Structure 1
Amino acid sequence: MNRYNFWFLTTEVTLLIVGKYLLNTGIHPYFYALVTGVTAGLVILIWLHLRIRLNSLLVSLPTILFFTIANSLGFAALKLTSLTNYNFIIQISLLIMPLFYSSKKP
């Protein structure tokens, strides 16, 4: 896992913890995960754009896309399932994320 993947994951988890446990917003976890995933991706993208390290962004892109797609599908599946255990989704994401980074190595 490179440092940009780490910062993306840290930003998303921090936003989730603040929103779900401290602010008690009452927003559904899938929708909040979608918003925090997009926000974390934008934070990393803006930070990388300011530092002009686009080659590092290309390494992190599969992970960012994975989180965005996973959060979007989770939000879309609200009507299809009653599963709301977001901790399970986080654990699966943490297990799958290193696979994308390792697939980029020669």
Structure 2
Amino acid sequence: MHFTAPVITGSGRGKKLGIPTLNLDTAHVPDTLEEGVYACFARLGENGTRVPAVMHRGTRPTFGDTPSCEVHVLNHIVAIAPRSLVVDVVEKIRDVQKFADEHA
């Protein structure tokens, strides 16, 4: 699966936990993408660098948040968030799960 979505401002929780994410506008994420955690590649902007990433799609039961879609870029520092992100989904790693707390 392949899609492009605008990057939106999130709560900043990932950055505070040391796992910064790029939050995507869920209106542009395909409805056929099930909730879960995925291995993927992200392209930082339409013509940007293609880098390995992990994507979470769905609810965040540990925090009681509304459904979201966020991408954590691996081994690459994103100094300035791009306006959009091109995502190439590789495979589902696991379902969404609830953790005991934010540090689990």
TM score, norm. by length of structure 1:
0.25
- The structure carrying a bigger helix percent of its residues is 1
- The structure carrying a bigger strand percent of its residues is 2
> Computing the radius of gyration over CA atoms, which structure comes out larger, 1 or 2?
1
TM score, norm. by length of structure 2:
0.26
